[in-house]
Structure 1
Amino acid sequence: MNPVVEQMNRRRSVRNFSGKPVDEVHLGRILLAAQQAPTSINGQQISLVVTRNKETIARIAEIAGGQPQVAGAEVFVTVVIDYHRTREALKSVGAEQVIAQSAEGLMVGATDAGIMLNALQTAAESFGYGTTAIGGIRNDPQAMIELLGLPAETFPLVGTTIGVADDASLAQVKPRVPLATFAHMERYDAEAVRRGVAEYDRQLRLWWDEQGLTQMPSYSESTAQYYSRVYFPKVAESLESQGFEFRDD
């Protein structure tokens, strides 16, 4: 099998780390590889803040809701939507930036941040490190902004842990919804999605039971715990305070 595809098929979130250090040379190569990820119009409206200081990582874990998987990581990388950089570019040619005050600007930033997250994790995992995506930093975005010294028109959207996995506690690869309900051919199939949800509830239940975690909720139950409420209620206020707006004109 193609080694890149094989690595991607083995991907799992790593929540327990051995405490062994992340090699400085490896980290540099991971960051350099991630920087090659595409961005809309080559605007490069993404920055990374790399944290290795354990006290700062502990504070990030606290901001994210008290996550031990963050506190135990050797490296935490915050993916930042960065229209401060593009504002500087526009200033240099005498233009006024408006993209941060638009719905499209937020869509571009979120899209590019997701691409960057995947690039970071894929590169880190290619060196044998474990990672977990951490959206919990949006639990208190303002605290992250202050901690990292982020200027206006930037926003800490997501982060990732990087560390050497504790092999004794590695989880098995978690199943996904049926492929035919994920990859639609030519047109979206809503009925297939409905059937796929029911099938995935059964598959995930079996998987949890095989792991000895019979108390874990089904896919539908777990999703309802989050999506029946706004679970990070400080995001809009923080975006506004950073100079972002969600409109089309």
Structure 2
Amino acid sequence: MEALEVMKKHRTYRNFDENYQLSDGELKKILQASRQAPSWMNGQMYSIIVIKDREIREKLVSLNPGNPHMLHSSVFLVFVADLRRTQKIAEHYGVDYPISEGTDPLITAVTDAALALENAVIATEALGLGSVVVGSIRKDIVEVSKLLNLPEQVLPIAGLSIGKPTVEMRVKPRLPEMAVIHYDTYQDYDYQLIADYDDTMEKFAEARETKIWSKKFADYFSNRPNQEVDKFLKMNKFFK
């Protein structure tokens, strides 16, 4: 039940006590929990970059100034989809490694990395600390990869700032259950459910939001997807 309560009370924190230092024991617990996440065939096709170095974190913020917590949190983790390890295995056995001929290996590795990330979030909150997931590290994916010395076939998925929160946050409302949960087959639903959620979020009145929920995503997806990710995937031999 304690685990269920932790997950039900999930909140994102962006303001951290700069003087708080995560202990080695706390960090180890978070990383152990992360490594115990489920993965396809127990392949564990991800890696975690633990970034304590202030200079590296300053460079990350310079690339992504909208997320200063990457520097001010106690530690910053970067979760990467890692197909380099299985490449090493293929080389060891002298077999082909045609991952660039389809998307399924990449989907598998991204899923493994995401599951490990979520375990880290839950473990962080179980320790009474806070975190924020940073997907925007992919905005400057080439520069971030060079900064972290990532080899080919390793893809940054998201970062995670962890620390002691200084600002209390409320639990954010989620979409109506009928818009998300389907039984046996996918069931279409009326747009009114989305309109109702817009109303719920307007009443929630999160200070950082400047648009209603649906308009935020209408505007976001009206633009072309981040082309840097596509270039990166080809450059690093995920695709031909």
TM range (shorter): over 0.9
Match of 2:222 in 1: 228
Aligned to 1:140: 140
Contact 1:79 1:117 in 2 (8 A): yes
Query: 2:79, 2:113 within 8 Å by CA — same for their partners in 1?
Result: yes
Assess if the C-alpha contact under 8 Å between 1:101 and 1:243 holds in 2.
Answer: no
Mind listing any 5+ residue stretches in structure 1 that lack a counterpart? none
Q: Which residue matches 1:10?
A: 9
Residue by residue, what CA displacement relative to the aligned partner does 1:83-121 show, whole Å, maximum 9, x if unpaired? 111111122222121225421112112211211110111
Residue 28 of structure 2 is aligned to residue 28 of structure 1? yes
Q: Which moved more, 1:83-92 or 1:54-63?
A: 54-63
Q: How far has the Cα of 1:242 moved from its partner? A: 0.9
For the 8 Å contact 1:45–1:83, the answer to whether it is kept is: yes
Is the contact made by 1:13 and 1:130 (CA closer than 8 Å) also made in structure 2? Answer: yes
Q: 2:29 and 2:9 mapped to 1: Cα distance?
A: 21
Match of residue 184 from structure 1 = 182
**Corresponding residue for residue 170 of structure 1:** 168
Alpha-carbon offset, residue 215 of structure 1: 6.7
SS of equivalent to 1:59: helix
Q: 1:108-146, CA deviations, whole angstroms, 9 ceiling, x for partnerless residues?
A: 122112111101111111111111110111011111111
Aligned partner of 1:107 in structure 2 is 107
Matches within 5 A, 1:146-225: 146-166=146-166, 169-192=167-190, 194-208=191-205, 213=207, 216-225=210-219
Tell me, in whole angstroms, the C-alpha distance in 1 between the residues paired with 2:113 and 2:63.
20
TM-score normalised by length of structure 2: 0.93
Equivalent AA in structure 2 for residue 176 of structure 1: R
Deviation, structure 1 residue 224: 2.0
Specify the code of the residue in structure 2 equivalent to 1:225. Answer: D
CA distance in 2, matches of 1:207, 1:30: 31
Question: Any conservation in 2 of the 1:138–1:158 contact (CA below 8 Å)?
Answer: yes
TM-score, length of structure 1 as denominator length:
0.90
Contact 1:45–1:82 (CA under 8 A) maintained in structure 2: yes
Write the distance in 2 (CA, Å) between the matches of 1:117 and 1:227: 25
- The superposition leaves residues 42-95 of structure 1 with CA deviations (integer Å, 9 ceiling, x where unpaired) of 222100100011221121222235422323212111111111111111222221
